[in-house]
Amino acid sequence: MATVTAQRPLAHLRRPWVLELGLVLTLYWGYEILRSAAPHRVALAFFNAHAVESFERGHGVAVELGMNHVVADTLWLSDITSVWYQLTHEVITLGVLLWLWFRRRESYRPLRTTLVVSTLIGLVVYWIVPLAPPRFSLPGAVDTMLAHPVLFAGWHSITHLENLYAAMPSLHVAWATWCALAVVVATRHRRRHLAWAYPALTTLVVLGTANHYLLDTVAGASDVLLTWLLVAGVRARGTH
């Protein structure tokens, strides 16, 4: 009996990686559908955007417009930020998930749970607090991905699953923060903290492309970090 109980927590380690990947992709597809199904409530989305703008101006952190003009005025920078915004979000996150599964299996489950729960929290906020991104609501902002289309930028929608007013929190920053967290938690390499450069650069990208406000990026990073503390706390209590 004791042997069976001891082996049960390790059952997920024997799950085929294809099944786990299918589960993750199914959850992601479900998230995309639910996000696109969120009511747009355009008037409320712009009202909330103006509230965010006022808060940032009042606290001297309204950096979006200046950063956006730097990107918009520099063609090569527009191209780089556009490619970064479109590709890294899914590609690097999936890569880190696969790396955890194959190389750091003992850390996979709590980190995967953190990613899923923090994403669901973001989805709930999208439904409750619609927010127009700076490229729509901030006077003078340039939609750099539309002005200088690269790859899929400028397409109306490839999957027809989109929500133009789901800016709070920034899941680009949230997932980038999760990737860095995974590297820091799952390794003991002395340079592992360099991984935090990834969410830092992603923050610059989403601000420069006028896709998010600074507060969106803070909310995205906080979502993941607070969720990790919750998951780690529950896990620690479960081992006692």
Please report the pLDDT score of residue 165 as a whole number. Answer: 87
Residues 23-53: tens digit of each pLDDT: 777 777 777 776 666 667 889 999 999 999 9
Average pLDDT over residues 146-162: 63
- The domain segmentation of the chain, as residue ranges, is 41-154+164-238
Residues 117-153: tens digit of each pLDDT: 999 999 999 889 999 999 999 999 999 888 877 766 6
User: Does residue 78 surpass a pLDDT of 50?
Assistant: yes
Whether the CB-CB separation of 121 and 165 falls below 8 Å is answered with no
Question: At a CB cut-off of 8 Å and minimum separation 6, what does 109 contact?
Answer: 12
Q: How confident is the model at residue 17 (pLDDT cuts 50, 70, 90)?
A: low
User: Does residue 219 surpass a pLDDT of 60?
Assistant: yes
Q: Which residue has the higher pLDDT, 6 or 153?
A: 153
Please report the pLDDT score of residue 6 as a whole number. Answer: 44
Q: DSSP class of residue 192?
A: G
Chain centroid to Cα 156, Å, comes to 21
Whether the CB-CB separation of 29 and 117 falls below 8 Å is answered with no
Backbone angles phi, psi at 131, to 5 degrees: -145, 125
Distance CA 201, CA 128 (A): 28
Distance CA 182, CA 225 (A): 11
Chain centroid to Cα 27, Å, comes to 15
221's tokens:
């990073």
Please report the pLDDT score of residue 155 as a whole number. Answer: 55
